[in-house]
Amino acid sequence: CERAAYYGTFIALRTYLIRAVGLDDIQAGIIAGMFGGWFYLVPFFTGAAAERMGFRKALMLAFGLLTVGYGTLGVFHTLGPVLVGLALIVLGGAFVKPVITGTVSKTSDTTNRARAFSIFYMVVNIGSFTGKTIVAPMRIQMGVETVPFFSAAASLLALVVVFFLFRPPEDLQSQPKSLKETLHSMWMAMSNLRFLALILITAGFWSIQGQLYASMPDYVLRMAGETYKPEWYANVNPLVVVLFVVAITHLVRNWKPQHSILVAMGMIPFSALSMASSAFLSNPVSVLGFDVHPITLMMVIGIAIQGLAECFLSPKYLEFASKQAPEGKEGAFLGFAHMNTFFAWLFGFVFSGYLLQTYCPEPTTLPAAVQAAHAAWLAGAGPMPETYAHAHWLWFAYTGIGVLSFVLMAVYVAVTERLDRDASA
């Protein structure tokens, strides 16, 4: 329920901020990036509070906050209340994450923990897939401002389930870390240059993957039309991961983790390049006898490449990140290994806002004549307006980021391997 609520709104958040709240592309990018980024930072601090409260009370508080937060987005469409609603969602989500992962960890043992977490990740993907599937027709038929109501309903359902069904063992809680201990661990990890460099370099990968939620939805609506469903395109990513992650994990089981990561980093530029290439195809494209919009075709291909790349990266990333830690500090470092997503979301969404405003602007912000020409072009009754002639350059920019990230990762691997050889000599 929580993942369905989150992804249902997150996939439409930029569009909501622009069309319902009245922000421009840059402003929407900044706010959406802060929202997505803080989701990966705040749980480090709410985890201790959840331990002290007890997991059941923490979950009830979390889903109460989420219900009110999403409901606020549905009811109010001015910036002040919307920012309050987003803050409540971040806070509520930050309680959910440590409670759920903590419950999985503490109610399983060494004989079934891997299976327990596989169930957890399966449910996460089910929620993500379901939320994005449901909100697409809602956005088309009732407007993007109605999407948060779905998320509020999903959160309320979760609250009811927790109230009636969730009864964790009394000994589930453990001794929580203090705020001082959390800050000390964060400083220790982030001040390690080798670890920080790995986080920043791999953030380039996730900044491209994050375009599923930053650039892709608005790009599709502006370049293909309002009836197209970018929410469904985004579902290709979890579908590919579910289908191929086991086989790819088996394939790379004997690889050095850095080599598997390099394969992923080498694949990710081709995702963005595929998305850009729709500009060079005829409209429509015949695929197995069916006419398909070139943006639909190349988005699906690009997103599928992202999913395959993620299968190479994710199983090995934490293993490699742990090896960057000083001996005995692996656990503390692993706790902050996903800070790459925090940096990726902040950068990716803000950069996306500038690129969209420059090369693929929101039609309603343009002069009436350009709006009319844009509508005629989408209807097949006129040429593409000059304003959108270079919209695909947005994806070339992310191709460049992917290439740079791959080169930096290759240099990083070469340097760290040499340092490790010298240290052991």
Mean pLDDT in runs of 10 for the chain (425 residues)?
96 97 97 94 81 86 97 98 98 88 80 79 87 96 97 98 86 60 80 91 96 97 96 94 87 90 97 96 88 96 96 86 77 80 96 98 95 95 95 98 98 92 81
DSSP tag of 385: P
Q: Name the packing angle between helices 25-38 and 339-359 (round to 10°).
A: 170
pLDDT of residue 423: 81
Q: Rounded to an integer, what distance in angstroms lies between the CA atom of residue 324 and that of residue 343? A: 19
Q: Helix-strand-coil percent breakdown of the chain, rounded to 5?
A: 80, 0, 20
Q: Rounded to an integer, what distance in angstroms lies between the CA atom of residue 315 and that of residue 392? A: 32
Q: Rounded to an integer, what distance in angstroms lies between the CA atom of residue 243 and that of residue 245? A: 6
Residue 173: strand, helix, or coil: coil
Q: Please check whether residue 277 is in contact with residue 399, taking contact to mean a CB–CB distance below 8 angstroms.
A: no
Q: Rounded to an integer, what distance in angstroms lies between the CA atom of residue 245 and that of residue 276? A: 26
Q: Rounded to an integer, what distance in angstroms lies between the CA atom of residue 412 and that of residue 424? A: 18
Q: What are the C-alpha distances in Å from 327 to residues 70, 121, 187, 330, 414? A: 43, 29, 17, 7, 21
pLDDT of residue 350: 97
Neighbours of 106 (CB within 10 A): 15
Neighbours of 143 (CB within 10 A): 12
Go through 302-338 and write b for each residue having 16 or more CB atoms within 10 A of its CB, e for each that does not. bbbbbbbbbbbbbbbbeebbbbbbeeebeebbebbbb
pLDDT of residue 391: 97
The one-letter amino acid code at 296 reads T
Q: Rounded to an integer, what distance in angstroms lies between the CA atom of residue 88 and that of residue 38? A: 12
Do β-strands 285-287 and 290-292 pair in parallel, antiparallel, or remain unpaired?
Answer: antiparallel
Q: Rounded to an integer, what distance in angstroms lies between the CA atom of residue 351 and that of residue 206? A: 13
Q: Rounded to an integer, what distance in angstroms lies between the CA atom of residue 239 and that of residue 22? A: 34
Q: Rounded to an integer, what distance in angstroms lies between the CA atom of residue 150 and that of residue 71? A: 9
Q: Please check whether residue 92 is in contact with residue 62, taking contact to mean a CB–CB distance below 8 angstroms.
A: yes
The position carrying tokens 């399966």 is 122
Sign of CA dihedral 224, 229, 234, 238: negative
Q: Rounded to an integer, what distance in angstroms lies between the CA atom of residue 61 and that of residue 175? A: 20
Q: Please check whether residue 374 is in contact with residue 366, taking contact to mean a CB–CB distance below 8 angstroms.
A: yes
Q: Rounded to an integer, what distance in angstroms lies between the CA atom of residue 233 and that of residue 215? A: 13
pLDDT of residue 174: 53
Q: Please check whether residue 297 is in contact with residue 175, taking contact to mean a CB–CB distance below 8 angstroms.
A: no
Instruction: Tell me: cis bond preceding 284? Omega within 30 of 0 counts.
Output: yes
| Strand-pair partners of 286 | 291
Sign of CA dihedral 59, 60, 64, 65: negative
Q: Which helix (H) or strand (E) holds 286?
A: strand 285-287
Q: CB under 8 Å to 147, separation ≥6 — which residues?
A: 8, 9, 12, 16, 74, 135, 138, 139
The one-letter amino acid code at 387 reads T
Q: Rounded to an integer, what distance in angstroms lies between the CA atom of residue 333 and that of residue 420? A: 18
